[in-house]
Amino acid sequence: MNNFIQAASLHLLFKLQMKTSLNYFVAVIAMVFTFASCSSDDNNTTNPTNELDGLVKIQQFDNDSHTIELYSKNGLLQQGYNDINIRIKDKQSAAYVKNATITWKPLMHMTMMTHACPYSALTKTNAAGTLYNGFIVFTMPQNTTEYWDLEINYIIDGVNYTAISQIDVPASAKRTLNTFTGTDGTKYVVAYIEPTAPKVAVNDLKVGVWKMENMMNFPMVNGYTVKIDPRMPSMGNHTSPNNVNAVQANPGELYTGKLSLTMTGYWKINLQLANTSGEILKGETVTDAVEASSIFFEIEF
Ligand SMILES: [Cu+2]
């Protein structure tokens, strides 16, 4: 429907943004109304925004019926945390599928065994759109003989489909991932997520904590604390003020904190993982005698 109304309300929004916040509020209501009208119209085939803005295709692969497309911000996968978008194209109609239920399964094929890694469920980015979003934390990089593949299982109108492909997962240049056994005997994965573009500022920090239940299951760990101590080893190992350790706002969510970076350059973010009782399961306090923790992230900007 109604490109005219949509265009008109966009124009309205643009003009009113210059004016008062009350006018702005009215314009937003008009926009919401317009989008709501569009999404209830079955003949609407255009998306309200360009879904692929800021995304680059990683690769695509096929089965008999569909093409699976993988996207990320930089068009690459690598060891560590990866935010990934998927869409499914019907080969016959060339249309992108909007009503699929999708699950995925990353698997590393090593010489002596196979294993998975932490990964999320896939959810639709926008109800009216075609993109499905999730994350995978690749715990190891590929090498010449060992590789990852990604299996996509999905249901469309009650029919099951599957597609699988090898994927490229090179090592990351900086350390963004720690896998270790804690003093409680549990194997943990602690991954760096954000900031992806650090600034000289107090940055929003996001990290993830998972445990290895077995080779295939890596559930998220709830209620722990990731203590951070960012240091510049090249400058007397100085630290920075106003850091905030990473914790969860709610169980099942990623961990957030504040990462203070007072200048550009190479930073080592020393870590300690504390359980729900505050016991340190891994990592050391940095002192004059202890230059770094055994678990850490690295950034350079
Ligand atoms: Cu492996």
**pLDDT beyond 80 at 36:** no
Domains 52-167 and 177-300 in one fold: yes
**Looking at residue 194, what is its pLDDT?**
98
Nearby residues for ligand 1 (ion, Cβ within 5 Å): 108, 110, 140
Q: Is 283 exposed, middle or buried (0-12, 13-18, 19+ CB in 10 A)?
A: buried
**pLDDT beyond 90 at 14:** no
**Looking at residue 93, what is its pLDDT?**
97
**Looking at residue 62, what is its pLDDT?**
96
**pLDDT beyond 70 at 146:** yes
- Whole-number Å distance, alpha carbon 137 to ligand 1 midpoint, is 12
The answer to whether 197 and 260 are in contact (CB under 8 A) is no
Interval 50-104: pLDDT, tens: 999 999 999 999 999 999 999 999 999 999 999 999 999 999 999 999 999 999 9
Write a three-state SS string for the chain: CCHHHHHHHHHHHHHHHCCCHHHHHHHHHHHHHHHHHHHCCCCCCCCCCCCCCCCEEEEEEECCCEEEEEEECCCCCCCEEEEEEEEEEECCCCCECCCCEEEEEEEEECCCCEECCCECCCEECCCCCCCEEEEEEECCCCCCCCEEEEEEEEEECCEEEEEEEEECCCCCCCCCEEEEECCCCCEEEEEEEECCCCCCEEEEEEEEEEECCCCCCCCECCCCEEEEEEEEHHHCCECCCCCEEEEECCCCCCEEEEEEECCCCEEEEEEEEECCCCCEEECCCCCCCCCCCCCEEEEEC
- Whole-number Å distance, alpha carbon 51 to ligand 1 midpoint, is 33
**Looking at residue 236, what is its pLDDT?**
95
CATH architecture of 177-300: Sandwich (2.60)
State the pTM of this model: 0.83
Structure tokens at 253: 């969510």
**pLDDT beyond 50 at 247:** yes
- Whole-number Å distance, alpha carbon 138 to ligand 1 midpoint, is 9
- Whole-number Å distance, alpha carbon 112 to ligand 1 midpoint, is 10
Kindly indicate the confidence band of residue 9, based on its pLDDT and cuts at 50, 70 and 90.
Answer: very low
- Whole-number Å distance, alpha carbon 195 to ligand 1 midpoint, is 26
Q: Which residue has the tokens 């240049």?
A: 173
- Whole-number Å distance, alpha carbon 8 to ligand 1 midpoint, is 55
Bridge partners for 245 per DSSP:
none
**pLDDT beyond 90 at 31:** no
**Looking at residue 152, what is its pLDDT?**
98
Side chain identity at residue 223, one-letter code: G
**Looking at residue 22, what is its pLDDT?**
41
CATH architecture of 52-167: Sandwich (2.60)
- Whole-number Å distance, alpha carbon 140 to ligand 1 midpoint, is 5
For the chain, the average pLDDT equals 89
Domain ranges across the chain: 1-43, 52-167, 177-300
Q: What is the mean pLDDT of residues 255-267?
A: 98
What's the CA gap between 93 and 297, in Å, rounded? 46
